[in-house]
Amino acid sequence: MDPVVFFVVVTSLYGVLYFFDRFFKSCMHYPYDAFLKNTGLSVNFMSLHWHTNAFNRALLRWGSAGNSCTRNFMVTSFNVGVLLTFSLLPIGIILLIITIFSGGEADSSAPYASAMPVQLEILLPGVNLPLEEIGYYITTLVLCLVVHEMGHAMAAVLEDVPVTGFGIKFFFCLPMAYTELSNDHLNSLRWFKKLRVLCAGIWHNFLFAGICYLLISTIGITMSPFFVYNEHVIVTELTRKSALRGERGLKVDNLITQVNGCPISSVESWHSCLYSSMKKRAGYCVSADFIQLNDESSAISHHSVDGQLQCCDELNPNVSCFEVVEDVNGDVPVELPQHVCLNVRRTLEEVTEHCTSGLCSEGFCLRPLMRNITAIMTFKRLNLNGEKLPPVIYVGHPWDVSRTVEVSAFVPRYRFLSAAWPDAWFLLLKYNVVFSIGLALVNAIPCFGFDGAHITSTVIHSFLVGKVDQYAKRDLISVIITSVGSLLFGLALLKVAWLSFLRPLM
């Protein structure tokens, strides 16, 4: 779906909801108000709000039912959360400073970029995330926010602070969750107990990220009864414009084992082998008899556009010019010319092995003379029963293959299973790791509206009591520190927004 179409559809839905909300409030005032009150829903311009206190009793029962061992474990866990939050604070500030003052000219568009410095980035579907992953994006945000707020609620119950309700607000596509606590009870706590409540959300996000990362690391084990993981890749989708479709092309559920002799064992190796097929021109070992019988060479000339050496009829798309490569000893058979013109498919079907240094155990090494934007790729494949299928030969750019062929590292053990299921689970886990860590880092920063602002205020009012007697002065110090953090966050946000999607639109 096009981003513009997506935003138009969402805006239209909000418009319809807002229209009917106004309509029912004017024509069916009492029944509609009763409905909103019972469900906790409210509709505003481009936003939805849901509030409930249905979980309050469950939390109170949980807080009163725990034994001393459970309570001690929870207290220790939230104590670790306080220490973690204070360790994340300098990391978040350093990342903000690096983001603000870095050049921001790193080329992140390269498909296989080398190690790059840490950078902050705003992740938006349709901008720098695929729009078809909008479901993962919203689900992850809701999960991370719910986990965050449940952390605050559990810590509050542990400290006997009443929880008055929970809520989720949707501002267009952006969800925001909150936990309502009794401010009087919270402020009456001693400073470290209060910090346990304030830092619990960050700690729960960090724990949630760790759990998701553990699930990612063990996904091969957990999925092993149903899927074979990282042995080969399976074709899950071919786009309509893919040149690899057709009778002799790839099919959905084909297992790809090699590309030009490069073994395929994972999605990463799939992309790496495609990339190397363009950078490293593969050589093929072919017998001298086959070369002499099938050579269709014409007068050697240079291509009129790029100067590429050409020994074939350019009007025949089935042939290519091959160069006979000398072996390490410099031996070339005198009966073979330096360049020969051969049918690509028949030649690759006769290949006994691939050669890199010109040395073949049988036959002679031939290297195709292709333009820089194209490569010859041979895909070796199996069916789901493990039986060999005829190889697929493709002449073109590897990027076209990567863009039009979707593969998965999860090969089903049973035909009724689909690789799309573990792929969706794997992608959701990766989203949750990234978003949970990001939410924990951002909330640790002393910025207005974040947990870091309340944590900073608590620390200032607790540790400066003996040095700064007046509450107003301590409050001013807290506001100044929070303002500096908010300024750094705002500048970093503006720069990241400019580099991520505003500048490309100009």
Choose the final residue of a domain: 396, 416, 436. Answer: 416
With beta carbons less than 8 A apart as the criterion, state whether 494 and 234 touch: no
Domain limits for position 25:
1-45
The pLDDT, as a whole number, for residue 106 is 43
**CA–CA gap between residue 164 and residue 149 (Å, rounded):** 13
**CA–CA gap between residue 440 and residue 206 (Å, rounded):** 6
| Tens-digit pLDDT profile for residues 414-457 | 989 999 999 999 999 999 999 999 999 999 999 998 999 999 99
**CA–CA gap between residue 318 and residue 94 (Å, rounded):** 58
| 503: in domain | no
Please tell me whether residues 156 and 82 are part of one structural domain: yes
Q: Rounded to whole angstroms, what are the CA distances from 86 to 46, 73, 209, 223, 444?
A: 36, 20, 18, 37, 8
Q: Rounded to whole angstroms, what are the CA distances from 2 to 5, 12, 126, 497?
A: 5, 15, 7, 20
| 342: in domain | yes
| Tens-digit pLDDT profile for residues 234-283 | 999 999 888 888 888 899 999 999 998 889 999 999 999 988 887 777 78
The pLDDT, as a whole number, for residue 126 is 61
Q: Which of 431, 384, 429, 377 is nearest to 405 (CA)?
A: 377
**Token pair 């994006």: residue:** 137
Q: Which of 391, 382, 389 is nearest to 345 (CA)?
A: 391
Please tell me whether residues 326 and 308 are part of one structural domain: yes
Please tell me whether residues 31 and 166 are part of one structural domain: no
Q: Which helix (H) or strand (E) holds 368?
A: strand 364-368
Please tell me whether residues 252 and 363 are part of one structural domain: yes
| 110: in domain | no
| 265: in domain | yes
| 299: in domain | yes
Please tell me whether residues 25 and 140 are part of one structural domain: no
| 314: in domain | yes
The pLDDT, as a whole number, for residue 446 is 93
pTM for this structure? 0.80
The pLDDT, as a whole number, for residue 177 is 83
**CA–CA gap between residue 343 and residue 447 (Å, rounded):** 67
Please tell me whether residues 14 and 139 are part of one structural domain: no
Q: What single-letter DSSP state applies at residue 231?
A: E
Please tell me whether residues 352 and 421 are part of one structural domain: no
Please tell me whether residues 381 and 399 are part of one structural domain: yes
- Two structure tokens written together for 198: 């304030």
Q: To 10 degrees, what angle do helices 68-101 and 451-463 make?
A: 110
- Where residue 230 falls (left for φ over 0; alpha for ψ -120 to 50; beta otherwise) is left
Q: Which of 192, 86, 152, 161 is nearest to 463 (CA)?
A: 192
The pLDDT, as a whole number, for residue 170 is 83
The pLDDT, as a whole number, for residue 3 is 60
With beta carbons less than 8 A apart as the criterion, state whether 144 and 435 touch: yes
Q: Rounded to whole angstroms, what are the CA distances from 338 to 18, 64, 345, 473?
A: 76, 87, 21, 87
Judge residue 47's burial from the number of C-beta atoms within 10 Å of its C-beta, 0-12 exposed, 13-18 middle, 19 or more buried.
middle
Query: Can you list the residues of the chain whose pLDDT is less than 70?
Result: 1-4, 6, 63-67, 103-122, 124-128, 299-308, 327-335, 356-358, 371-373, 500-506
**CA–CA gap between residue 417 and residue 101 (Å, rounded):** 50
| 91: in domain | yes
Task: Please give the tally of structural domains in the chain.
Answer: 3
Dihedral sign from CA coordinates of 79, 85, 88, 93? negative
The pLDDT, as a whole number, for residue 499 is 72
Please tell me whether residues 422 and 403 are part of one structural domain: no
The pLDDT, as a whole number, for residue 127 is 62
How many H helices and E strands in the chain? 16, 17
| 490: in domain | no
Please tell me whether residues 410 and 424 are part of one structural domain: no
Please tell me whether residues 39 and 58 are part of one structural domain: no
Please tell me whether residues 204 and 348 are part of one structural domain: no
Residue 372 in 3-state DSSP? coil
